[in-house]
């Protein structure tokens, strides 16, 4: 426990009053010193029984580099229910909250003057680099009602967010070259209908079966036998043990794999820590991004891969069918429309068209 500047000023005034009382009489002691002693004693008693609060965070979702989300901190009693907007502290107190955030994320504000336990505090956090990053623990400083003294209270609760690598749009010519690796006569066999299924990211709107869609809440698309037989493109990715090499490899691999998946091509990805298959199913894309969020340097010995990605200190090299490119040449200036957290604008437009047309069939 320590005095604030206001508390030190009260002590200084009391000392002056004592000196004045010794020189001119005891009345100045009664007028100044006694109230000062009462106020300081009350401050001590208030802070003597203050306990560290329990902290709960409204944690933002895992997402890509560059995204910004709000974080809310709730405070409650240690032996009470989990802190929330409806469950605060029985005895809130004035004080200061100082949030701690790990490297890789940036908070727009970390110090808050508030009534701890009465209202939550909120700040925005921006994901700056891929990886697993910690939020907390928060430091709490309690002050008495008059602001004469304060004491630091420790909290232990922390939370984590997983930041995926940034995803970049792939230039049109590069996407055509990637799709051409294992196309299986889609145009020739397109009239051979296979089945109806729910819409997946990357499906063409021309395949939407509007009559079936009108009967359900979700879009229903037609799948053709040629699409079902499309072979997977294999991608082998590694990185040198140099600063930024693994980050560049992760961004390039995520961008290429998700671009292929959006075009309806499954991808077999080989990484230094194992392999996985990525399809139009959202869960497989999330698993890829979770692996790429924490992947480190290493090599993958896969000479038969259709695409190889290798990160180095000065950039990322991409080899497609034996032809080398710099990943910077693959990138488009437009923003990427794919990634697990981004809404699919084609789906939004399709739903808007369906709503505008009512329950009838929409002609795309």
User: What pLDDT was estimated at residue 271?
Assistant: 95
Give the separation between CA 99 and CA 114, rounded to whole angstroms: 13
How is the beta sheet containing 323-326 ordered, strand by strand? 274-278, 267-271, 233-239, 307-312, 315-320, 323-326
User: What pLDDT was estimated at residue 354?
Assistant: 36
Q: Cis peptide before 151, with omega less than 30 degrees from 0?
A: no
Segment 256-311, tens digit of pLDDT: 999 999 988 999 999 998 999 999 898 999 999 999 999 999 988 776 889 999 99
Going by DSSP bridges, is the β-strand pair 274-278/267-271 parallel, antiparallel, or unpaired?
antiparallel
Give the separation between CA 239 and CA 147, rounded to whole angstroms: 55
Q: Look-up: residue for tokens 């203050």?
A: 50
Smallest CA-to-CA distance from 205 within 344, 335, 337 is with: 344
Q: Span 89-101, mean pLDDT?
A: 93
Under the banding of pLDDT at 50, 70 and 90, the label for residue 196 is confident
Segment 338-351, tens digit of pLDDT: 777 644 443 344 33
Average the pLDDT over each of 9-23, 91-105, 174-188, 273-287 and give the range with the smallest value: 174-188
Indicate if the pLDDT at residue 352 is higher than 90: no
User: What pLDDT was estimated at residue 340?
Assistant: 72
Give the separation between CA 207 and CA 347, rounded to whole angstroms: 12
Q: Look-up: residue for tokens 């304060």?
A: 150
Indicate if the pLDDT at residue 184 is higher than 50: no
300 DSSP β-pair partners: none
Under the banding of pLDDT at 50, 70 and 90, the label for residue 193 is low
User: What pLDDT was estimated at residue 266?
Assistant: 92
71 DSSP β-pair partners: 123
Mean pLDDT of the chain: 84
């Amino acid at each position: 426990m320590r005095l604030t500047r206001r508390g030190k000023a009260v002590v200084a005034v009391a000392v002056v009053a004592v000196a004045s009382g010794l020189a001119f009489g005891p009345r100045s002691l009664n007028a100044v010193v006694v109230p000062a002693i009462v106020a300081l004693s009350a401050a001590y008693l208030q802070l003597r029984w203050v306990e560290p609060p329990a902290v709960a965070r409204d944690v933002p979702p895992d997402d890509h580099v560059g995204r910004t989300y709000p974080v809310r901190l709730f405070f409650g009693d240690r032996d009470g229910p989990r802190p929330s907007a409806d469950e605060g502290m029985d005895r809130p107190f004035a004080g200061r909250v100082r949030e701690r955030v790990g490297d890789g994320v940036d908070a727009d504000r970390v110090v808050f003057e508030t009534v701890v336990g009465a209202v939550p505090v909120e700040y925005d956090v921006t994901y700056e680099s891929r990886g697993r990053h910690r939020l907390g623990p928060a430091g709490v400083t309690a002050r008495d009602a008059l602001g004469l003294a304060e004491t630091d209270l420790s909290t232990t609760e922390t939370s984590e967010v997983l930041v995926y690598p940034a995803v970049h749009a792939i230039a049109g010519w590069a996407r055509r070259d990637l799709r051409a690796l294992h196309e299986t006569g889609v145009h020739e066999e397109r009239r051979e209908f296979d089945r109806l299924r729910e819409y997946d990211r990357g499906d063409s709107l021309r395949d939407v079966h509007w009559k079936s869609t009108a009967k359900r809440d979700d879009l229903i698309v037609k799948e053709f036998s040629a699409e079902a037989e499309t072979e997977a493109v294999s991608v082998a990715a590694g990185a040198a043990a140099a600063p930024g090499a693994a980050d560049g490899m992760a961004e390039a691999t995520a961008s290429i794999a998700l671009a292929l998946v959006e075009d309806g091509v499954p991808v077999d990805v080989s990484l230094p820590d194992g392999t996985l298959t990525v399809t139009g199913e959202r869960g497989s894309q999330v698993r890829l991004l979770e692996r790429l969020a924490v992947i480190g340097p290493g090599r993958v010995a896969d000479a038969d891969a259709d695409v190889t990605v290798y990160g180095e200190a000065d950039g990322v090299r991409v080899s497609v069918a034996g032809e080398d490119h710099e990943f910077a040449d693959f990138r488009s200036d437009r923003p990427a429309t794919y990634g697990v957290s981004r809404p699919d604008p084609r789906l939004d437009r399709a739903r808007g068209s369906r709503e505008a047309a009512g329950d009838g069939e929409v002609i795309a």
